[in-house]
């Protein structure tokens, strides 16, 4: 047990030792990582509605993809913990993985086949390119995020860099989720993806030189399965990552369904209305970051902030089940943007607390495995989204080969945009109510970790 004690003042060795420029450059890389991942939310729209893939095939394939992605996250994270090279442990995954990953991302939206004349070829192309892209993308993302707790050791630095990361992430969300339908209509899906790949590469290159790893980090002694077992027995980690899975399920459902909702439930043609609604959510999320950080988080902490944000998100989506106009839907998405801002602000900060507590329990820093395990679980949100999409399309009779859809399709996509994400947000609230690492227990962890680092610094100085 970690003794409960008042937080100790940080000793000189634990004062922030990174510059504002380093924190900004690290944060800007998150912009380049966010764009491809969020644009991937339109794969169903592209392959089903544009390439005419059978919806059941697409839903099943994405479910299998989610299982694969969930499995490779912890493996890649574990490997990054144990990698030793001239560039370090994490940096090689970022340095040598981002360019192949972005090329594959552009190819993913440039399928040369269609589901009417070459359905099997289209499916094979989708499976092969997606699998390669996701592997590289996971390696880059895991390496990048695993560097955060190592580069930025103090709570002050982590909260500062998290705010910056979330600010640029909102911009990436805006581009990756709001612009694809509009740009695809103007330029085509392939050109849109190529432009996004170039933009993402520029952002990653801008921050690549700022990455560093601290010397003297010992390799974890636990084997993969034993380390995974310890991680899965950590109640703080399980509650946080399950709640985060519900967050990605909510946003994934909205991003996947918005184009269908606008077209079939609201009767609005083209991609402009879809872009407007998604953009409103993410512009609002960006604008609301400062109020959440300034007025809410200092009073409620990470757990309380997330509880409030998820509850507000559930309430904000209710109007989408009732409104019949673009204006009504716009009000709902703006309110959801306010809630989303609180959700994204605390994600990395609260996981950093979990990793710190794990160090006190195990004596090891296992950022790679923890972020990998987080990806293992949160990636399953894509499977939930795909299955919900498949169930709704089957029940409503949606058929992409029909010129006119059955009347039930409008109600089906209206349900898809409200029922599943509202349920997900409420599940997250229930999970976070069980999260144990807050209040006096969190203060005790921070004080104990501060003492441990002071002792380590003194021992190194004496040696």
Asked if residue 320 lies in contact with residue 417, where contact means CB atoms within 8 angstroms, the answer is yes
pLDDT of residue 30: 94
DSSP state, residue 355: H
pLDDT of residue 459: 65
- Rounded CA separation 213/89 (Å): 8
How many Å from the N-terminal Cα to the C-terminal Cα in the chain?
Answer: 30
pLDDT of residue 220: 57
pLDDT in tens, the chain (463 residues): 334 334 334 433 456 678 889 999 999 999 999 999 889 878 888 888 888 888 888 888 877 877 787 778 788 888 887 777 888 888 999 999 999 999 999 999 998 888 788 889 999 999 999 999 989 998 999 889 888 888 887 767 887 888 888 888 878 877 887 788 889 889 999 999 999 999 999 999 999 989 988 765 555 566 677 777 777 788 889 999 999 999 999 988 988 888 889 988 988 876 778 888 888 887 888 888 888 888 888 888 889 999 999 999 999 999 999 998 999 999 999 999 999 989 988 887 788 788 888 878 877 777 777 887 887 788 778 788 888 988 988 898 887 777 788 888 888 999 999 999 999 999 999 999 999 988 888 888 878 877 776 776 666 666 5
- Rounded CA separation 330/332 (Å): 5
Specify the residue for token string 């209710």: 318
Q: Which of 100, 101, 125, 124 is nearest to 111 (CA)?
A: 125
Asked if residue 344 lies in contact with residue 170, where contact means CB atoms within 8 angstroms, the answer is yes
**Neighbouring residues of 401: CB distance < 8 A, sequence distance ≥ 6:** 52, 116
Pure H helices in 152-179: 155-173
- Rounded CA separation 23/348 (Å): 14
pLDDT of residue 9: 43
Asked if residue 268 lies in contact with residue 413, where contact means CB atoms within 8 angstroms, the answer is no
pLDDT of residue 431: 95
């Amino acid at each position: 047990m970690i003794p409960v004690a008042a937080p100790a003042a940080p000793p000189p060795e634990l004062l922030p030792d990174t510059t504002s420029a380093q924190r900004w450059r690290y944060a800007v890389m998150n912009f380049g990582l966010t764009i491809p991942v969020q644009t991937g939310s339109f794969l169903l729209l592209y392959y089903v509605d544009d390439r005419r893939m059978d919806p059941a095939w697409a839903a099943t394939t994405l479910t299998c993809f989610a299982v694969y992605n969930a499995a490779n996250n912890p493996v890649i994270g574990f490997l990054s913990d144990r990698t030793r090279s001239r560039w370090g442990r994490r940096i090689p995954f970022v340095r040598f993985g981002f360019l192949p990953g972005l090329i594959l991302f552009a190819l993913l939206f440039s399928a040369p086949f269609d589901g009417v004349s070459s359905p099997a070829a289209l499916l094979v192309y989708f499976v092969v390119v997606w699998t390669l892209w996701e592997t590289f993308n996971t390696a880059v993302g895991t390496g990048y995020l695993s560097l955060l707790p190592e580069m930025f050791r103090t709570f002050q630095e982590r909260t500062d860099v998290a705010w910056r990361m979330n600010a640029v992430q909102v911009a990436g969300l805006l581009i990756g989720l709001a612009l694809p339908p509009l740009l695809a209509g103007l330029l085509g899906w392939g050109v849109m993806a190529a432009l996004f790949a170039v933009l993402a590469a520029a952002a990653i290159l801008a921050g690549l030189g700022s990455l560093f790893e601290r010397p003297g980090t010992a390799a974890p002694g636990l084997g993969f399965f034993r380390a995974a077992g310890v991680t899965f027995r950590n109640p703080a980690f399980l509650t946080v990552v399950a709640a985060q899975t519900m967050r990605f399920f909510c946003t994934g459902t909205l991003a996947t369904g918005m184009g269908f909702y606008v077209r079939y439930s609201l009767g609005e043609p083209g991609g402009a209305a879809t872009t407007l609604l998604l953009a409103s959510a993410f512009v609002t999320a960006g604008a609301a970051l400062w109020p959440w950080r300034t007025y809410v988080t200092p009073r409620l902490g990470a757990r309380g902030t997330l509880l409030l944000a998820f509850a507000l998100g559930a309430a904000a989506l209710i109007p989408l089940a009732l409104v019949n106009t673009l204006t009504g839907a716009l009000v709902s998405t703006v309110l959801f943007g306010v809630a989303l801002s609180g959700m994204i602000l605390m994600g990395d900060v609260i996981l950093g607390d979990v990793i710190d507590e794990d160090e006190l329990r195990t004596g090891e820093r296992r950022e790679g495995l923890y972020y990998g395990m987080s990806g293992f679980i949160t990636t399953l949100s894509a499977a939930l989204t795909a299955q919900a999409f498949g169930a709704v399309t089957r029940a409503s009779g949606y058929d992409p080969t029909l010129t006119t859809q059955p009347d039930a399709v409008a109600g089906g996509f209206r349900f898809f945009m409200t029922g599943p994400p509202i349920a997900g947000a409420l599940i997250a609230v229930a999970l976070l109510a069980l999260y144990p690492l807050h209040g006096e227990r969190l203060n005790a962890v921070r004080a104990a970790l501060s003492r441990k680092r002071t002792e380590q610094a003194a021992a190194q100085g004496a040696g």
